Amino acid sequence: MHLHHVQISMPAGQEDEARRFYAHGLGMTEVEKPPALAGRGGCWFRHVEDGIITCEIHLGVDDPLTPARKAHPGLLVGDHDSLEAVADRLGRAGFEVDWSERTTFTGYERFHCRDGFGNRVEVMTPAP
């Protein structure tokens, strides 16, 4: 079994805000939604490495929106430098990066952040 995608909620009409976090901040690529689903709003993002899809996040419209305060995707990056680079990109894009639990998950270094809708996202790498 493999995980195909994670769906996260967003408010209607806020696709540009989703792009600011998931594309510009996290560095994911937006992919076109299938025509049968495109009219529902929202947007999809993925990361591809060596021709293989390694991560896909779907943002779907939820009205009213209730952000995921505790539940979250945990995104794994390759090394400490990649972790720092993602944190820097998010910070430059205006998102708060929380390092308070940096070493609390044995074997990993990590930070938490929230997208523009208040959804929690964790970014992590194996500890050196």
User: The domain spanning residue 50 has which CATH number?
Assistant: 3.10.180.10
Please compute the mean of the pLDDT values over residues 51-65 and round it to a whole number.
95
The strand ranges marked E within the chain are 6-10, 29-31, 43-49, 52-61, 74-76, 97-98, 108-114, 120-126
Percent of the chain topping pLDDT 70: 100
The confidence score (pLDDT) of residue 2 equals 86
The verdict on residue 1 lying in a domain is: no
Q: Which domain holds residue 80?
A: 6-126
Per-residue confidence band for 21, with pLDDT thresholds at 50, 70 and 90: very high
Q: For residue 128, is pLDDT > 90?
A: no
The verdict on residue 10 lying in a domain is: yes
The verdict on residue 81 lying in a domain is: yes
The confidence score (pLDDT) of residue 83 equals 97
Please compute the mean of the pLDDT values over residues 73-86 and round it to a whole number.
96
If one counts the domains in the chain, the total is: 1
